[in-house]
Chain A
């Protein structure tokens, strides 16, 4: 794979001005309809399109030749792609169709591999379709979270944003993530801690690097083998394998140090546990343990993510017994808000997406009068003073024809409301902090370095401040007064 040869590039972290071949991109169809894809000049799956690799969407087909080389964020028109008559490779069960293709094309599968490749290299130039478009976007963790293939419960943007905020995940942070799941948190965390790829290939060796330039890193764990494999593949495809080290492992049983890594290397200072039983994993996150993955010299920030309150209670009990401090539990409620214009009134009668009941009392009264007049006309056959009544059909016709000239986007009242589907509970977030170990010797050293002055509370012979002198003088004066009073009594 081309991505593998350039591990030090990720369109998540740097995207150049234009979409280059082999970079990971997202086709934006609608806000919640995003199609992630790797841009390829040639079709790696060999699906048989004459334009090379093509992404087919609801809004048309997009040969990658029309996407590569355009600036990120561009609106790209769909192309006219012959999706039907291609001879798909490995298309089992459709033998009839394939045979027909072979016959019509005359060469088909009998042609040598080399020839096939040649044909691919000279991709047909895509022809623009008259309708349909997408926007070509570089990936961000937010876009990835919205588009990712669900494998487990996803940590959504409001949650992971707040978690990373509280974990103090910054460039240079080393973060342990257990229960990588679908990988949404993994991507967001990678962006937060990223401060450069390690210089030597994909393997980091923090012990050899200069101490002051600690690279941010995610030590990620997943105990479901299939999920771990899938995520590993995604991380590689996204060019994040220099930042994220994913291990297939059950951390509750085996701890937080990958087998191929010396224990001294992890040195994490932030931890995120999205596990069914986080309290079982906590025993490995202990400084007394010689194979501790925690950094010995920093504060450790921890967050656990559990949907049930019982999990939270047990986690917190365990945290307290293990000496974690500043334990706090919160939940995040988020909502998206919809803005629209609401049109109300009789003038909207018969139109779509409006409320055609009277907009005001005046309108209601007017309508009632009209109805009243009509019924009087009907019963008494009285002469209508106002002249010809407009039939309902005619009225609706008038409203519809007037619609042409109206600027509906400016009419009506601007309103906002929460979007129909609310996430009312995601999970409880437990935060805790483990301060650095502070021994008697450390304290002695610190005392030696910063000697606390012996504070003298009442000192007679030291230099006296101005304020003190004033105070003394006042006391003296007061004393004199008292003295005088006494004297006067004596007299």
Chain B
């Protein structure tokens, strides 16, 4: 869970009046600029709660110097414009009356706009000159104004010559547009995975995360059954002291780590422990923190230089606790190194992980080469050992190099062997590689009943994948099974009996504007890839030939007979009406 107050060095998201989002790191004693809306001091938001809306205003201190400060905007003020037109909701009305009073709302809104109940836009002539103020004038006004921008907006509205002709709706729209442009407000949001995903999708590079929308991300989360498996041992039912295994997910993530971050959040391993209750600040060596503050107070010089990105977690000598065995994510990557660049927003550096971060032991990465042919990978080959005396005789540099190599090899070997042993609880794929080729190598690594989820921004790869598991193909496979050593064959690129109930689905959210009397879906939305999810369950087919029962399309009489049999109880062995069909 995210800490509830803004912590030093944390990444935060700022929602601007234009509805765009900005991600900034809050370094103490620095100034944060939010473009045309102005700038503010990081210390003014540090230690404050999230989800507050601030207003930038320039104040003048007692010694006559200009200073930009922040003011928390109360919720009532946020809705000031809306509330003017809103009829008071009757506080206690029974639910049954809702339709009647729904009419009342509409009526009152129109009525409140005074005598002109049916003002329309038929009188309005489009005239680009109806705004009398010029751009320069507005800019000049902006430069001298010190407030939140409200007066500026009021002035702009005032100087619109045709304002009185506007309908209430048009006026509201115009005001809103100007507000978005000139109001100097921003809302501080915690940077969690949903916010990060939204930001990359709408404001940054959607291709980087394969255009993974929030709706689809949440579908992946549900169908993959990813959840937290606490490390506390749960007593097994037989009381045999059986160790609670499980909670191991296999992932192929080419969304720069977004998927890994999302899974980690659901598994409670994204944020360092204690991050929520105690201050994150205590993770920084206190001396440095003190230095930053003192240095600032002492000579008053800009301390930006001193505090530029102090690494939140210092690399410490690696503990030899080794990778975790439950509640883990195993990532298979196509390049020599995994691309997990988005994890930096959660203070995790894949190349130099700090031991205090839970992902260090719970995230395991290996390449396809290490998985499929580990002997060919140089990291898997055991480095030469040396006797204790020889090691002692080495110089310290050589010695530490030796141990570093050994540790690296141990880790790679452990991860590769463990992954190859399989028994994963689920598989999530978001890759531009062919899903058929991925599932060929990963489905056998799953335990029975493991969930498989494959994401693709376009449907075609999933259609192709789904076809490999089609009922017709599976029936052909079962009736005439090919030699297992020859798999994959041209006809059966994947073993169709290993996955149950393959399904392709998609979801899309549609946002609405809900203002009193002006409720409708938003007029524009994001295009691009739709995004699809393939889901299935790994199953363990029974040994030998299995014949299905059911579905009697051709011989109706048999169908009736079987139905009778299941109700009245002639022995179920009755093979009357058994057709070579599949039960799923």
Contacts and interface: CB of A to CB of B under 8 A. Distances in A.
Interface of A: 6, 8-9, 13-17, 20-23, 28-31, 56, 58-61, 71-85, 129-138, 140-142, 157-158, 160-162, 164-166, 168, 170-173, 188, 191-192, 194-197, 211-212, 214, 276-277, 279-280, 283, 297-299, 308-314, 316-318, 320-321, 323-337, 339-341, 407-410, 414-416, 428, 430, 433, 435-436, 438, 443, 445-446, 449-457, 462-463, 465
Most buried by A among B235, B247, B538, B566: B566
Contacts of A83: 566, 569, 572
A451 B547 CA distance: 76
A331 B509 contact: yes
Given A75-B541, A409-B473, A450 B46 contact: yes
B519 A309 contact: yes
24 contacts: A8-B235, A14-B234, A17-B423, A20-B238, A22-B237, A29-B584, A31-B584, A58-B550, A74-B542, A78-B572, A80-B573, A133-B549, A173-B1, A279-B89, A311-B98, A313-B102, A318-B89, A323-B75, A325-B78, A329-B512, A331-B512, A336-B503, A450-B43, A453-B296
Contact of B4 (A130, A141, A297, A333): A297
A328 B519 CA distance: 12
B546 interface: yes
A289 to B, nearest CB: 14
Given A197-B234, A450-B28, 15 more contacts: A71-B540, A130-B547, A132-B547, A132-B572, A162-B215, A170-B268, A194-B228, A211-B277, A279-B89, A314-B89, A320-B82, A320-B86, A328-B511, A332-B508, A455-B31
B482 to A, nearest CB: 12
Contact of A323 (B72, B76, B516, B583): B76
B368 to A, nearest CB: 25
A195 B571 CA distance: 47
A162 B509 CA distance: 9
Nearest to B63: A454
Interface in B198-231: 214-215, 217-219, 221-223, 225, 227-230
B67 interface: yes
B180 interface: no
Contacts of B549: 58-60, 78, 131-133
Contact of A320 (B79, B190, B296, B473): B79
Contacts of B578: 130-131
B535 to A, nearest CB: 8
Contacts of A317: 86, 89, 516
B41 A452 contact: yes
Given A133-B546, A157-B222, A299-B49, A58 B4 contact: no
B509 A449 contact: no
B265 A170 contact: yes
B461 to A, nearest CB: 12
A28 B539 CA distance: 11
Interface in B479-501: 491, 500-501
Contacts of B92: 280
Counting from the closest, the 6 A-B pairs by CB-CB distance are A73-B448, A84-B569, A73-B449, A83-B569, A277-B95, A165-B218
A211 B278 CA distance: 10
A443 B48 CA distance: 8
A299 B50 contact: yes
B511 A74 contact: no
B196 to A, nearest CB: 13
A136 B218 CA distance: 26
Nearest to A279: B89
B266 A192 contact: yes
Contact of B48 (A407, A408, A438): A438
Contacts of B508: 332-334
B514 A212 contact: no
Contact of A312 (B46, B49, B222, B514): B514
Contacts of A23: 237
Contacts of B78: 325
A284 B102 CA distance: 23
Interface stretch (B253-261, B375-383, B398-406, B463-471): B463-471
B467 A341 contact: yes
Contacts of B217: 165
A435 B514 CA distance: 21
Given A277-B95, A435-B49, A172 B268 contact: yes
A339 B467 contact: yes
Given A191-B227, A452-B44, A16 B449 contact: no
A454 B65 contact: yes
A13 B192 contact: no
B267 interface: yes
A433 B51 CA distance: 8
Given A194-B227, A446-B47, A212 B449 contact: no
A164 B221 CA distance: 10
Contact of A409 (B46, B219, B472, B516): B472
A110 to B, nearest CB: 24
Contact of A16 (B48, B52, B236): B236
B392 interface: no
Contacts of B91: 283
Contacts of A76: 542
Contact of B219 (A72, A161, A212): A161
Contact of A325 (B43, B51, B94, B504): B51
B562 to A, nearest CB: 8
Contacts of A15: 246, 449
A137 B537 contact: yes
Interface string B550-584: 10000000000000001011111101001000011
Most buried by B among A59, A435, A463: A435
Contacts of B541: 75
Contact of B222 (A85, A160, A299): A160
Contacts of B170: none
Contacts of A324: 75
Contacts of A456: 65
A337 B246 contact: no
Contacts of B467: 339, 341, 409, 414
B459 interface: yes
Contacts of A6: 235, 237
A325 B75 contact: yes
B324 to A, nearest CB: 15
B237 A454 contact: no
Interface in B275-294: 276-278
Contacts of A197: 234
B67 A455 contact: yes
Most buried by A among B69, B245, B547: B547
A411 B76 CA distance: 65
Nearest to A336: B505
A276 to B, nearest CB: 5
A404 B235 CA distance: 55
Contacts of A132: 547-550, 572, 583
Contact of A337 (B450, B473, B504, B538): B504
A313 B51 contact: no
Most buried by A among B49, B78, B459, B583: B583
